[in-house]
Amino acid sequence: SSEVKIYRIEGIMLISHDKYPTWQKFVKEIRALNEKQAVEKVYSILGGSHKLKRYHIKIEKISEIPPEEVTRRELLHLIKLTRLIKK
């Protein structure tokens, strides 16, 4: 279906992979049409902000969550919108 869902993606990422490599946990809440798109978005966000390659990111758990469980402020605002106005 073409309904936008919210996914919680949990995993680990390799930070400072060149000097002192350490695995750090992450939890991301993503709006997407399906799991595959949500995973791609996580790779894009983490890769862009932390300069990570895909093999430095290990996704451990993907779960669809109801709007009541969302913790990200931006997503909460998007959920509460009733309509969009284009200028």
Tell me the pLDDT band of 1, cut-offs 50, 70 and 90: low
Question: Where residue 6 falls among pLDDT bands split at 50, 70, 90?
Answer: very high
**What is the rounded average pLDDT for all residues in the chain?**
90
pLDDT band of 79, cuts 50, 70, 90: confident
Give the H or E element holding residue 11.
strand 5-15
3-state secondary structure of 81: coil
